[in-house]
Amino acid sequence: MTTYAAPSFSDLTPDELHVQRQTKTRLVVLDVLPPEAHDRVHLPGARNACVYAVAFPEQVSELIPDKTTPIVVYGQSDDTLEGKMAVEKLHAAGYTRVSRMIGGLTAWRAAGFPVEEAPPQPTAPGTSVCPLDVDASVIFWTGSNRFNHHTGTLALSEGFLAITEGEPSGGEFILDMDSIACTDLTDPAMNAMLVAHLRHDDFFAVDRFPTARFKLQTARRLEGSTDGTPTHRLSGDFTLRGITAPIDFKASLHPRPEGGWGLQAHFAIDRTRWKVLYGSGRFFAKLGQHLVNDAIHLHLKLFANPPS
């Protein structure tokens, strides 16, 4: 009589997958995003089968004929459903050892694990890719409650700005969350206490998500802008704590006399969109002195060097 092995399905964190990849030689990591997304960036050694394709089960069958092979699938993030869909389809196709990586590619990158990534390519003729000057660039932040506020800085670890015919056409900026600092508290003990609180899971969970990322999607010049006013409206995807959500803001972008570009912007984000919920009056009752306003105000001061 044939013995049936009940399917095994579970979720893994990026940390757990990283460990399993060192110990399980038969483990297959499967990127279920479209091929063009996989070609741009993917986990090292990940196979690819697009879950949106009608022939997804057949594609996986060709890649992984043995249905007892341990498989970990991943999509873009937990804000999208492709990872869960892949688990369901593989279950229905008879695969018995399937897991899903929580948070997808976004969480893997936010955790600081390596990826295989195509180098930035010009998006149009005449495009130049200007690397971020990380030593000169900085982000200033302000957080507040009913009667007080604190200020601080964040450094950037890498990034680039693409310029096509004098206009921004793409870019990516990676924030070093481990660099978060407070600049207004002069008492060393109080300063250290606040920074530790910000690094904790209550806020940015820096040990699990050491980087944040903004990927520029579109840049539109603002009509009627003058010296001293914003020149562009920038739109893109911001990833924080492994969660990706769209943001847009006005920015001033100008060529620097010594070459390259300078970008400045002032805007606010609602931290609760990225599940930074501590002290939010929308999620907790009777907070009293523990209330923290939902808005975080940011001042970007970024410099990109001329193309090398």
Dihedral of the alpha carbons of 44, 50, 55, 58, in degrees to the nearest 10: 20
Average pLDDT in the chain: 91
pLDDT, average across residues 193-220: 94
Mean pLDDT of all residues in 60-64:
95
Is the confidence at residue 299, as pLDDT, over 50? yes
For the chain, give the percent of residues with pLDDT over 90: 82
Residue 79: per-residue pLDDT? 85
Predicted confidence band of residue 45 (pLDDT cuts 50, 70, 90): very high
Average pLDDT of span 78-93: 93
- pLDDT at position 308 over 80: no
| Percent of the chain residues topping a pLDDT of 70 | 95
In the chain, residues under CATH classification 3.40.250.10 are 8-116
pLDDT at 2: 39
- Would the pLDDT of 121 be above 80? no
Residue 4 has pLDDT above 90, yes or no: no
Q: Is the pLDDT of residue 6 over 80?
A: no
Report the chain's C-alpha Rg in angstroms. 22
| pLDDT for res 125 | 59
**CB neighbour list of residue 23: distance below 8 Å, 6 or more residues apart:** none
Q: Provide mean pLDDT across the span 7-27.
A: 85
Segment 138-160 mean pLDDT: 96
- For domain 120-304, give the CATH superfamily: Lipid/polyisoprenoid-binding, YceI-like (2.40.128.110)
pLDDT over 50 at 195, yes or no:
yes
- pLDDT at residue number 89: 95
Mean pLDDT over 258-277 rounds to 95
Asked whether 250 and 237 are in contact (CB, 8 A), the reply is no
Token pair for 3: 């013995």
Bridge-partner residues for 301, per DSSP?
138, 264
Are 65 and 30 in contact, with CB atoms under 8 Å apart? no
User: CB of 251 within 8 A of CB of 234?
Assistant: yes
**Mean local confidence (pLDDT), 39-56:** 93
- 8 Å CB contact between 232 and 258: no
Asked whether the predicted pLDDT for residue 253 surpasses 90, the reply is yes
Name the CATH superfamily, with its identifier, for domain 8-116: Rhodanese-like domain (3.40.250.10)
- pLDDT of 119 over the 80 cut: no
- Can you tell me which residue has the tokens 């899971």? 201
Question: CA 245 to CA 298: how far, in whole Å?
Answer: 16
User: In whole angstroms, what is the distance from residue 277 CA to residue 272 CA?
Assistant: 5
Q: Where in the chain is the domain with CATH 2.40.128.110?
A: 120-304
Contacts of 143 (CB under 8 A, 6+ apart): 149, 150, 292, 293, 296, 297
d(CA 138, CA 298): 10
